[in-house]
Structure 1
């Protein structure tokens, strides 16, 4: 009677192993079962060193595939005067019969004058003087020379207050957002971030965005800090925004973490992704069955499957028990919105069944 009971439980356990025991993910054969159907809805690509370069040439998904940025380019020291700036003049004249100063005074100050859309300022007795595109020192010399016919000994002092076209906006993501005037033509984005209190430390994987002339440029903050040639020079009217890099991939199955995983770098390989999710669960995962699920846009499809996938839904498979599979995973880039799935090992299910049987036998012996 006892033997019959054990056999019955063993048969039931084997049946359970095939269909109903609780697991974190399916086994590889279950997930990929449809690939053998007459009309499958996805294609399967086993990634190896022989085809990883070909797959890498397929259109990227989830983002543009790279950040565009303006390389650093220095300019001459000083800032050119532009429309909207305010120019202040102080004229010193020692002549007793000066046209500009009162009898008891030797200098006269003019209220700040806004540079017109035509790039000029109006100076009494001199008329419109073009200052657009000049540095403050060059503009002072122009005013000085224009004044010689009426006040040969007069001295001109000129200062400029930057208008909106000679300032930049630090919009968000820093300690002190605001509008910052450009003191020189060599004012860089790192200087702006430093004066703005630095990047908000609560931002994860910060991204720096520059808006200029209706175009948007982006770079990861860590790369901006690391590469000197990325410290671009700012122009008047630039807007700088610091925000979190919102790219992510999904981790599921027998991994160390089932979660949305943010991109800690500009690009992440499949092997690095496994590290970010805490690796494979040693007691559950099948290292021969690591899958990456990806969806391509319709325009990316190619009939030959060389320069693009044949189907929109693609499952890439990796065997991490071989050197070929490890090197392939090391060179395969995960795209934003991908799903990294570690399938369950069939042995894990079998061990669960045998553990159940041992428990049942133990209970039966106790009867």
Structure 2
């Protein structure tokens, strides 16, 4: 007759073995990710094994910024008059009996607070409507003098801008003094205007600068503008600048020591530094051949490295980059890959982890419960007595 153990143990083994793939885990193993990519890729992601060409491409291709979007431009010296500007026009004549003579100053007439209309014109007595927008004050003065030449006595004209409404930029958000800022005659860059508005007290690597020009919007972190002269572009009248604190973060999951949302805390962060900030790979659990970086990439980058047809539509494609940190070369490749805001790092469990969990579960299943042990001990004690 078979013992009870010879019947129970095989039954337990069959149940545990059947559920081995369902053991608790924070995420898929490396082989499972590859299998999903090839067989059940409903998300349409691209799986890319990192090599030198991939690392070189990611190191060279960064997000478009102000210089790429708008061009560096040339200094806007704010000399040209525009709609909304308020002017002061002073007219001198050679004869005290001229049309602009006054009781206080016989040879001079002053027309204060002349506002440039939305059509870019001003109205001057005896001269009529004159185009002002797009001209310098000196050029406008010459045009007024010419228009008055047949009505005034040898007119001389001076034009000054009392209010520069057309040549201003707007700065809002986290700066010392938000408001309207006239552009200077020397020409102002983006950093000039930010400094003139009091700057920001937040770290440059946590500060996002957004620029709206003619309805088009571009954004960049302030530290990037400071480090990239081509992105410190010249301002144009009507530009809108917004400053906002927005720390860059990434997420770390799987077999790492520190999980969750982690701030960059620096101007630049590469992939190997990001893994280090997550306290590195968990010694017992981690699969060094299964370190993954999840992000959305431009379609051109995804198509460049995909080994399968891309199934998703749109400009952004989900991409998973896989590194094998058992290969020393991969550490250099990882240093070339700059982290981006909202990236996700996932480190897969080693295959031995599932085996360890299985053995622990098996040992738990075969060990008698404590109550049973106490009962057996009690019986033995009674029999001994």
Q: Same fold (TM over 0.5)?
A: yes
Task: Kindly indicate whether residue 318 of structure 2 is the aligned counterpart of residue 317 of structure 1.
Answer: no
Give the equivalent residue in structure 2 for 1:186: 187
Bigger mean CA deviation after superposition, 79-88 or 109-118: 109-118
Deviation of 1:331 after TM superposition, in Å, equals 4.2
Relative distance call for 1:314 and 1:165 in structure 2 (3 A) is closer
Give the equivalent residue in structure 1 for 2:347: 342
Relative distance call for 1:47 and 1:112 in structure 2 (3 A) is same
Give the equivalent residue in structure 1 for 2:71: 71
Bigger mean CA deviation after superposition, 112-121 or 200-209: 200-209
Bigger mean CA deviation after superposition, 245-254 or 108-117: 245-254
Deviation of 1:252 after TM superposition, in Å, equals 0.9
Residues 178-225 of structure 1 show CA distances to partners (whole Å, capped at 9, x for unaligned) of 112223271222221111111341776222222111222333311211
Residues 296-318 of structure 1 show CA distances to partners (whole Å, capped at 9, x for unaligned) of 8999987x944x65566764321
Cα distance in 2 for residues equivalent to 1:340 and 1:285: 13
CA contact (8 A) 2:205 2:223 kept: no
Give the equivalent residue in structure 2 for 1:251: 252
Give the equivalent residue in structure 2 for 1:232: 233
Tell me, what secondary structure is at the counterpart of 1:165?
Answer: coil
Give the equivalent residue in structure 2 for 1:85: 85
Larger radius of gyration: 2
Cα distance in 1 for residues equivalent to 2:156 and 2:91: 6
Relative distance call for 1:128 and 1:317 in structure 2 (3 A) is closer
Give the equivalent residue in structure 2 for 1:157: 158
Give the equivalent residue in structure 1 for 2:49: 47
Cα distance in 2 for residues equivalent to 1:85 and 1:56: 48
Alignment of 1:104-253 (within 5 A): 104-106=104-106, 107-152=108-153, 155-162=156-163, 164-184=165-185, 186-201=187-202, 205-244=206-245, 248-253=249-254
5+ long unaligned stretches in structure 1: none
Give the equivalent residue in structure 2 for 1:277: 278
CA contact (8 A) 1:73 1:232 kept: yes
Tell me, what secondary structure is at the counterpart of 1:110?
Answer: strand
Tell me, what secondary structure is at the counterpart of 2:112?
Answer: coil
CA contact (8 A) 1:255 1:278 kept: yes
Cα distance in 2 for residues equivalent to 1:46 and 1:145: 71
Relative distance call for 1:164 and 1:205 in structure 2 (3 A) is same
Tell me, what secondary structure is at the counterpart of 1:280?
Answer: coil
Deviation of 1:84 after TM superposition, in Å, equals 2.0
Tell me, what secondary structure is at the counterpart of 1:108?
Answer: strand
With the length of structure 1 as denominator, give the TM-score of the two structures: 0.72
Residues 319-352 of structure 1 show CA distances to partners (whole Å, capped at 9, x for unaligned) of 1121233234334565655431122346677889
With the length of structure 2 as denominator, give the TM-score of the two structures: 0.69
Deviation of 1:276 after TM superposition, in Å, equals 4.3
Deviation of 1:168 after TM superposition, in Å, equals 1.3
Residues 136-163 of structure 1 show CA distances to partners (whole Å, capped at 9, x for unaligned) of 2222333344445444465433211345
Deviation of 1:109 after TM superposition, in Å, equals 2.6
Cα distance in 2 for residues equivalent to 1:224 and 1:277: 28
CA contact (8 A) 2:76 2:236 kept: no
Deviation of 1:49 after TM superposition, in Å, equals 2.0
RMSD over equivalenced CA pairs, Å: 4.7
Relative distance call for 1:137 and 1:278 in structure 2 (3 A) is farther
Bigger mean CA deviation after superposition, 170-179 or 257-266: 257-266
Tell me, what secondary structure is at the counterpart of 1:273?
Answer: helix
Deviation of 1:70 after TM superposition, in Å, equals 2.7
Bigger mean CA deviation after superposition, 166-175 or 284-293: 284-293
Tell me, what secondary structure is at the counterpart of 2:235?
Answer: coil
Give the equivalent residue in structure 2 for 1:102: 102
